[in-house]
Amino acid sequence: MSNSIHEHAPVADVIDRLRAAGYKITPPRLAVLEVIEQRGEHLNPNEILEQAKAIHPALGRATVYRTLELLTQLGVVRPIYVGESGPTYIRADGNHHHLVCSGCGQVVDFDQCVADQMAQELRARFGFEIRSHLLEFYGLCVHCQD
């Protein structure tokens, strides 16, 4: 499966999920959703705030954090923790494969999936329906090895 933005739930679907869960669709929430849809992966709250302010200038930091928490609870995004800089958010759907540098915190996406066969074996063994996975390898990038 590719990490193409078009394979993820569009903003309209996320809006429907928010409404179904009883949440209002406010301009600040829409701004956060638009940034996630346009930019996609590996966004930290400060980057989301900065980019979403271009859409909704009155957006505040607390609203970004509350919206990310809500989207995490609804299974739209999930945090990954790399280094000491706090969470970075990725979409919760699909499969994600990363190389993570323990030195500088650089995250490199890669498409080659070694987990697909394992997922099939786990499904057969435990009857578990796997909907997505996150595979991360930790080590040192070329620059940090020097």
Predicted local confidence at residue 54, as pLDDT? 94
The 10 Å Cβ neighbour count of residue 77 is 25
CATH topology of domain 5-91: Arc Repressor Mutant, subunit A (1.10.10)
Model confidence at 84, pLDDT cuts 50, 70, 90, reads low
Question: How confident is the model over 87-100, as pLDDT tens digits?
Answer: 888 777 767 787 88
Predicted local confidence at residue 94, as pLDDT? 67
- Of the CA atoms within 13 Å of residue 105, those in its CB half-sphere come to 11
**CB of 135 within 8 A of CB of 113?**
yes
61 CB-near residues (< 8 Å, 6+ apart): 45, 49
CA dihedral 18, 22, 26, 28 (to 10 degrees): -60
Predicted local confidence at residue 2, as pLDDT? 34
Predicted local confidence at residue 46, as pLDDT? 92
Q: Do domains 5-91 and 95-145 have the same CATH topology?
A: no
Q: Is the predicted pLDDT of residue 6 greater than 90, yes or no? A: no
pTM of the model as a whole: 0.69
| Number of residues assigned to the chain | 146
Q: d(Cα 28, Cα 78) in Å, to the nearest integer?
A: 19
Structure tokens at 124: 């057969």
Structure tokens at 63: 């609203």
Q: d(Cα 83, Cα 55) in Å, to the nearest integer?
A: 29
Q: Which residue has the higher pLDDT, 89 or 3?
A: 89
Average pLDDT score over residue span 109-136: 83
Average model confidence (pLDDT) across the chain:
83
Instruction: Please tell me the CATH superfamily of domain 95-145, with its number.
Output: Ferric-uptake regulator, C-terminal dimerisarion domain (3.30.1490.190)
**CB of 96 within 8 A of CB of 90?**
yes
**Nearest CA among 77, 74, 111, 72 for reference residue 92:** 77
Model confidence at 3, pLDDT cuts 50, 70, 90, reads very low
Query: Which residue ranges make up each domain of the chain?
Result: 5-91, 95-145
Q: Is the predicted pLDDT of residue 42 greater than 80, yes or no? A: no
Predicted local confidence at residue 82, as pLDDT? 67
